[in-house]
């Protein structure tokens, strides 16, 4: 498993990216109302995406080349399904746009993966994810970070922190839009109705997002405390 999860500069962790994309798609599809066949299709494609990415481990060049092509096709089909869901009003445009951007980045990583494999036709994918490759990448990263750090207002910028902040904002926007989509699909709902349908979020987190949506004027609240109801 470690060999699958480890990443390098060429792939940026194909497996890790695929299962995170699948998880995000599942979260969005869980709040899709009366979507039936479309929701089922989206979830099926997401699971296939993860399975195909896992299968990249320990296969030869010719099989990997075909599998990479299949993963790209799967990703493009998921983008199309999410576009349909967005146009139909089943998911918010912002959530659809965020996922589309992430899938496009994923497809670009697959292209880099394929280019790397072209130069290693007789090796297995396992060797690309091997310890020696990872060690070289880590050494290069350490040298780069020790010789160069961008400055801002007299201090050093933490690149990982900037990336985490960017990803954090994306997750927050996606979470808020999932809550908004759920409220749109129902009339008056309370927080107990919302919590089971927003995967991976605590009631306290959802409460904060509801307050933010009220301040932004996107939803209305009636009643107080446990009797509070939310609507558009």
pLDDT digits (tens, 9 = 90+) for 93-130: 888 888 999 999 888 888 877 776 666 555 555 555 55
pLDDT digits (tens, 9 = 90+) for 74-89: 999 999 999 998 888 8
DSSP 9-51: TTTS-HHHHHHHHHHHHHHHHTT--S-THHHHHHHHHHHHHHH
Q: What is the mean pLDDT of residues 5-30?
A: 71
Query: What is the predicted pLDDT for the residue at 77?
Result: 94
Q: Which CATH class is domain 2-148?
A: mainly alpha
pLDDT digits (tens, 9 = 90+) for 124-177: 555 555 555 445 545 555 554 444 444 444 444 454 554 555 555 667 778 888
Tell me, yes or no, if the pTM score tops 0.85.
no
| CA distances to 64, 120, 130, 217 from 141, in Å | 28, 23, 17, 45
Q: What is the mean pLDDT of residues 200-205?
A: 81
Whether domain 159-231 has CATH 3.40.50.300: the reply is no
Say yes or no: do domains 2-148 and 159-231 share a fold. Answer: no
Query: What is the predicted pLDDT for the residue at 27?
Result: 85
Domain boundaries, the chain: 2-148, 159-231
Query: What is the predicted pLDDT for the residue at 155?
Result: 46
């Amino acid at each position: 498993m470690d060999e699958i999860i480890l990443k390098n500069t060429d792939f940026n962790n194909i497996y890790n990216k695929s299962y995170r994309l699948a998880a995000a798609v599942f979260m969005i599809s869980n709040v899709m109302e009366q979507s039936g066949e479309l929701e089922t299709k989206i979830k099926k494609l997401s699971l296939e995406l993860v399975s195909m990415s896992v299968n990249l481990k320990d296969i030869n060049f010719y099989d990997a080349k075909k599998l990479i092509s299949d993963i790209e096709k799967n990703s493009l089909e998921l983008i199309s399904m999410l576009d349909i869901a967005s146009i139909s009003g089943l998911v918010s445009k912002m959530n659809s746009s965020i996922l589309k951007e992430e899938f496009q980045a994923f497809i670009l990583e697959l292209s880099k993966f394929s280019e790397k494999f072209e130069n290693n036709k007789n090796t297995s994918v396992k060797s690309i994810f091997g310890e020696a490759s990872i060690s070289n990448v880590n050494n290069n990263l350490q040298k780069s970070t020790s010789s160069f750090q961008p400055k801002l207002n007299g201090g050093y910028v933490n690149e990982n922190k900037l990336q985490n902040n960017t990803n954090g904002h994306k997750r927050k926007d996606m979470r808020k839009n999932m809550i908004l989509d759920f409220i749109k699909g129902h009339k008056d709902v309370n927080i107990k109705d919302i919590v089971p349908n927003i995967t991976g979020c605590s009631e306290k987190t959802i409460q904060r997002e509801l307050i933010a949506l009220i301040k932004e004027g996107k939803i209305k609240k009636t009643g107080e405390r446990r009797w509070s109801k939310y609507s558009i």
